[in-house]
Chain A
C-alpha cells in the first residue's frame, strides 16, 4: 500500500488563480479529511467526507470546495486563491478498527499565494 498520497508537493499561485490539490488513498478508507496548518499552529479542518458522494464542512471551509466521487480520491479545490490561503495542506484518511480510529496523513502540499 502506498498509503495517503498528495500532489503537488509544492506550488506557487498568483492571487485569483485556481488549483486542485489531489489526495488519494489505497487503503479503502471511508473517512477522509483535509486540514491546513499555518506556521506554529495546529491543524484546522477544512472539509471531510464519510464516504463516496458525501462531504461536509469543517472548521474553515470558506474559499475551498471538495468532491468525493470515489472512495480513493478526495480532491480539494481553490477557486480564487488569496494570500490568506498560504499554508501547508494535509490530507488524511481514517478507518475504525474495533472502535479505535487511526488517522493516516499524507506528506502535505505547501502552497504559497503571492
Chain B
C-alpha cells in the first residue's frame, strides 16, 4: 500500500513564500502530483514530478527527491486567492489504471 503525509494546516502572509511538504512511501513510485482545491470546488492540477529535481511553473514550483520519498510545493509571492487546500498525490506503477493515491491535503491560509 501507500502512505502519504502532509501537514494539516499552514498560515502565511500575503507576498511571502511558503513551502508545503509531502512525504510518501510506495513500493513502485511512478510520479507525484500536486493539486489545488478551493473550498467547495473540484481539485485542479498544479504540477507533476517523476524525476528528481525542481519543476517551475510561474509562481508555483514543485520539487521531488525519490530516494527520500519527499516532495514540496513552493508558492511564491503569495496572494489571498492562494488560500486553498493543496493535495499531494502519488501514482504507483503496480495495479494498472494510472491510479493516484491522495494525501489528506494541507489547508493554506494566506493573511494580510
Contacts and interface: CB of A to CB of B under 8 A. Distances in A.
Interface stretch (A11-19, A64-72, A76-84, A104-112): A104-112
Contact of A50 (B4, B41, B96): B96
B112 interface: no
B97 A90 contact: no
Contacts of A58: 99
Contacts of B78: none
Size range of the chain A interface in the assembly: 20 to 34
B44 interface: yes
Contacts of B44: 105
Interface residues of B, number: 23
Contact of A90 (B31, B43, B48): B43
Contacts of B43: 43, 90, 105
Contacts of A96: 98
B51 to A, nearest CB: 11
Interface in A27-41: 31, 33, 35, 40-41
A96 B91 CA distance: 13
B102 interface: yes
A105 B101 CA distance: 15
Contact of B42 (A31, A45, A108): A108
Given A94-B98, A101-B98, A105-B42, 5 more contacts: A31-B98, A42-B102, A42-B104, A56-B96, A108-B42
